[in-house]
Structure 1
């Protein structure tokens, strides 16, 4: 695909504004790894216990689940844009609470609000991006959101260990305040406006989003026809499972997101320092600096995916990513297996560190966020909010369960058992993608629905 900068500029500008909060969400997601060591110090402004350390993550994830009904209501009631800005305002308050905390209860309140705001953004932003994008650039722009999340994880990993406790919160507040200030640059989704019978506003929004006005009437008519067709019946949550095409979409995203998290992402990211220490890799690398390298590789790999997804397609990137991820996990699994059974592997303790770097690159060229991009494409307009929320539910549940699965098996048997399991799942993900995941490259959202109905 040839990228025409003039054509994409208005869509990119709206996407940039919409995803500024994604940087903040990435900072919230990775907050515990670099910040908890600061809170354990005697100079910490807040006194915490081991139980608190566990529940800072738990409260963040659980509040995301509790926010699901609110998310479904907001994206269809007030619109995608206003839902994004509501999430941003909530996240801004959470950073203020976290940065100014002098008591552990205030930290919990901040983490709970962060989880709820992240849940709203997780649904609203990909939905917004998929609906404002021309089909030629939709893969690039929807992938851009998840790349910004990675920028946030890198940012907090690079800043938090070397600055006072409150600095990440200040950065988060600045990012979100900037987004709210320049939000007029974001037109509302034409799909949403048409679904509310606001045709003139929808036409104006589409004109703002398209630099090339030559075919604007044709595109507007296509969108209007698609929305009218999808809205002939008001969507219900049960339609996800009763309508054949929706049921196929649900099956695809359920398996993809399961494979995504049971390929070890949350377990590896949240236990990165522990894995390196127990592999004795700390003797050959600086663990703190390694974290910055690890996240930098993820950002670079995800950027490559963003720029090439509309050329290669999502399917091929998912397959390549799954296979390479499986290979990297297999190498790490074998190392810990040998270590567990008494083999002296200290002379090759660099292997897990480099295999984890390979994992960062391999996972983020596809499996790292393309399942979430696909979720934003597979559901028709009348059940899209339900479908996106279902994907969000899976994201939270599989993230949490995969973490517990990893910690439990690692505690009783060692790293190699859960890592072998993640290896198998990664390879199975490649097989499932090859046979069952449709290629959506270059197709309109209406054409994707037709394809699902014919599968």
Structure 2
């Protein structure tokens, strides 16, 4: 049974090089989980984290092409905009209510995330998503469909607020970006799968299986997660935060594939323990929620704002305008046939998935800032061009087939820039930018920001297309253009930094001049170049 330690113990232990480990000096054990350690264990964590985001992506993409199916429209006549165009607002509400469920789930994580840990939160989220999927797939009324979407969203909100945090807190700084970018790629993998399944079941005529099976298929993904999630290691940083130093040391031993008394493990445990102690002192007599809005020594409010606005900017870029309604856009607003629009939507999802792997190979080489800036610039240009091409291609205007082809190309173009710059980035960045004492609460709040603005975009899209048509894209072109200077002046680089190193960067910053943190992050030496001598001394 592992011993739990209070905050006073941390202070005492951090004063000697081996106190945190609680293992005999001669212990050379390398611990394993499910018989795995080192890279294999990191890959297992990444696989389950990836399945969580594959499920997230599938849920995002599955509804778009179902909305125009005759059997779906017959079952849910009150959201059929093909025969009743005036029902666009209600259709947008039914589709977007999923995001409200996600919002509530993410906010709930602010309360439960630090109480039960990362793994149990993901486990509960998956169970809730299965229940929601069953309710949706068995729906015979819009009311039942709404309930199912809210329940599914609640579970997904819990998962999306927790999975990147679990992954980031287990990963090494040099690999953290790549590993979380895999999650981003798997979001698009889920979208791609949903589009192709929607396309395949399009050919099943006169049966509700054509839409019930695609919705029910999402149950497959949690079945990969549930049997294993509680048998893999908990976040070592959460374990240290809750006083379980011995188990945290075992996790670091297994992740690094070294003995529990290795100097690197001793150094890392002591460094995190010192950081936790400092944060606890700063948090005296303050609730977790209040801590988000207090600067303090660790600049909590500044860092929370960066995390929340990173997630908001991802959504107001307009990505879910395309993800949710790709099939509808190709069919109703560019004038393609039902089968061609579904083929193109599926191809769009496939290209989105392939483009997302560019970030995996470039995230550590170019860093977070450069990819976000590149994405914002490309997204702004793509949306501006879409304004003109979709106007010319629209059946309401010139019905220009050449413009229709160009519009389709720039829908692909937007997805490419987004996949490289913003897709996985805003699931990685909030977990990197926030201190441990508010990480769960801040990630819950930032993810709630993502889902609330996701709801807004998905809700207004049918209404905007109905009223201002192609100029919908103009709004998003301007927003993406404004995102460029926001990132350039306010968002520091986190690549190659430990999570504790970011604490030191913000401690040096001035909250009255929030742009100075970019310069500090650029100029401060990297710790992996500084404390190699400390590790050597600890081993003597």
Q: TM-score, normalised by structure 1?
A: 0.90
Of Structure 1 and Structure 2, which has the larger fraction of its residues in helix? 1
Equivalent-residue separation in structure 2 for 1:351 and 1:168 (angstroms):
30
| C-alpha distance after superposition, 1:363-412 (max 9, x if no partner) | 11012231231111111111112211111221122112234454444333
In the other structure, the counterpart of 2:528 is none
Q: CA distance change for structure 1 residues 104 and 407 in 2, over 3 Å: closer, same or farther?
A: closer
Question: Does the Cα contact within 8 Å between 2:95 and 2:458 map onto a contact in 1?
Answer: no
Q: Which runs of 5+ in 1 are unaligned?
A: 1-5
1:334-353 matched pairs, under 5 angstroms: 334-337=388-391, 345-353=400-408
Give the whole-Å Cα distance in 1 for the aligned partners of 2:246 and 2:143: 48
C-alpha change, 1:333 and 1:450, in structure 2 (3 Å) is same
SS at match of 2:289: coil
Q: Which residue of 1 aligns with 2:180?
A: 142
Spell out, residue by residue over 1:97-147, the C-alpha distance to the aligned partner (whole angstroms, 9 max, x if none).
233444544433321211100110111111111111111111112222232
Mapped partners of 2:247, 2:107: distance in 1 = 28
Contact 1:126-1:373 at 8 Å conserved across structures: yes
Cα distance in 1, alignment partners of residues 417 and 305 from structure 2 = 24
Whether 1:23 aligns to 2:54 is: yes
Which structure's CA Rg is the greater one? Answer: 2
Residue 316 of structure 1 is matched in structure 2 by 370
- Select 1:120's aligned residue among 137, 152, 158: 158
8 Å contact from structure 1 (residues 31, 156) kept in 2: yes
CA distance in 1, matches of 2:149, 2:273: 40
- SS of the residue 1:241 aligns to: coil
Q: State the Cα distance separating 1:289 from its structure 2 match.
A: 0.9
Are the equivalent residues in 2 in contact too, given 1:314–1:439 (CA < 8 A)?
yes
Counterpart secondary structure, 1:229: helix
Provide the residue aligned with 1:367 in structure 2: 422
Indicate if the aligned counterparts of 1:266 and 1:402 stay in contact, CA closer than 8 A. yes
The number of equivalent residue pairs is: 447
The counterpart of 1:171, out of the listed 211, 214, 217, is 217
Distance of 1:76 and 1:356 partners within structure 2? 40
1:313 CA drift (Å): 0.6
1:234-283 CA distance string (max 9 Å, x none) = 55322222216222223323443333222211222223233333554627
- Corresponding position: 1:159 with 2:197: yes
CA shift at 1:188, angstroms?
0.4
Cα 1:326–1:100 shift into 2, 3 Å: same
Q: What per-residue deviation string (whole Å, max 9, x for no partner) do you get for residues 179-226 of structure 1?
A: 111224420001111111111111112222223555333222222222
**Cα distance change on mapping 1:34 and 1:280 into 2, 3 Å:** closer
Q: Tell me, yes or no, if structure 1 residue 450 matches structure 2 residue 499.
A: no
Higher mean alpha-carbon deviation, 46-55 vs 159-168, is at 46-55
CA distance in 2, matches of 1:355, 1:158: 21
From the superposition, tell whether residues 243 and 63 of structure 1 become closer, same or farther in structure 2 (CA, over 3 Å).
Answer: same
Aligned to 1:3: none
SS at match of 2:288: coil
Alpha-carbon distance, 1:69 to partner:
4.3
| Aligned-partner Cα distance in 2 for 1:348–1:284 | 19
Number of the residue aligned with 2:130: 92
Of 73, 94, 99, the match for 2:111: 73
Q: Distance in 2 between matches of 1:31 and 1:208?
A: 38
Change (3 A) 1:19 1:74: farther
Residues 92, 458 of structure 2: 8 Å contact kept: no
Is this contact kept in 2: 1:22–1:152, CA < 8 A?
Answer: yes
Structure 1 pair 302–231 and aligned structure 2 pair: CA distance change class (3 A): farther
Task: Find the aligned partners of 1:201 and 1:48 in 2 and give their Cα distance.
Answer: 55
User: Deviations for 1:28-72, whole angstroms, at most 9, x for unmatched residues?
Assistant: 22232133344x41897x555216744432331222233344322
How far the C-alpha of 1:361 sits from its partner, in A, is 0.7
Show structure 2 runs of 5+ residues with no match. Answer: 1-36, 80-86, 202-208, 510-516, 518-540
Aligned CA distance change for structure 1 residues 53 and 345 (closer, same or farther; 3 Å): closer
Residue 424 in structure 1 maps to residue 478 in structure 2: yes
Q: 1:193 aligns with which of 208, 217, 239?
A: 239
Question: Does 1:330 find its partner at 2:384?
Answer: yes
